[in-house]
Amino acid sequence: MHAARWLFIASLCAGLLMPMAVSAESLQAGAPAPDFALRDGQGKQRSLADWRGRWLVLYFYPKDDTPGCTVEAQAFRDSLQRFTALDADVVGVSLDDAASHQSFAASQRLSFPLLVDAGGKVARAYGALTNLGIAKFAKRHTFLIDPTGRIAKTYRDVEPATHAAEILADLQAFKRD
C-alpha cells in the first residue's frame, strides 16, 4: 500500500512541475517577453513597457537575504554602472513581500528595483516558478530582454557569483552585432 501512495504522490508532483518546464522552454531567443505589472519594494507599479527602448536583465531569485541570492544581488549591484553604460537595467523578482524587498535592498545597498510577485503569476509566465503545493518560490532564472521586448537570451543554470559578468559579456556581444 505504501508503494501505491508514493507512486500517486510522485505522479502528482510530476504533473505539477511538467507544465512549468514546457513554459520555460517556450521562452527562447526571439520570443516576446511575457508582459507583467508588479509593484516594487516601494509600492510603485512597474511593467515591461517601462523598459521599452532599453535592454532589461530580468532576474528571478528564490528568497531575499539568503546566501546565494545575496551574492547574486551584490554582483548585480557592483556591476550596475557597467550595465547602465550598455543601456541596460537590472530588475530582480521574487515572491517575497514589499517589506522584505525594502529590507534586503537597504541592507545590501541595492539601487535597482526588486519586484513583488506574491502569487508567482509572473514567475509562472516565465517558467521560473517552483510550486511544491505548500511552498512556492522563484527559480534562479534570468532573461535578457532586448529593447523591443523580445527575449534575447535565457539563463537557467545560474552561478550567483559570476552571473552578472556572464550577462555583461553577452550584452556586449549583442551590442556589437
pLDDT > 90? residue 94: yes
User: Of these residues, 27, 69, 115, 129, which one is catalytic?
Assistant: 69
Q: What percent of the chain has pLDDT over 90?
A: 77
pLDDT band at 69 (very low <50, low <70, confident <90, very high): very high
d(CA 66, CA 137): 13
pLDDT > 60? residue 18: no
- Mean pLDDT, the chain, as a whole number? 88
- HSE toward the beta carbon, residue 105, CA cutoff 13 A: 21
Please, are residues 117 and 138 in contact by the beta-carbon 8 Å criterion? Answer: yes
Residue 16 vs residue 138, higher pLDDT: 138
pLDDT > 80? residue 164: yes
pLDDT > 90? residue 64: yes
pLDDT score for 26: 66
d(CA 46, CA 55): 15
d(CA 132, CA 148): 34
pLDDT score for 141: 97
pLDDT band at 76 (very low <50, low <70, confident <90, very high): very high
pLDDT band at 176 (very low <50, low <70, confident <90, very high): confident
CA 6, distance to chain mean position in Å, is 32
Q: What percent of the chain has pLDDT over 70?
A: 85
First to last CA, the chain: 60
pLDDT score for 25: 56
Mean of pLDDT values over 96-103: 96
Residue 17 vs residue 29, higher pLDDT: 29
pLDDT score for 132: 85
pLDDT > 60? residue 24: no
13 is known as an active-site residue: no
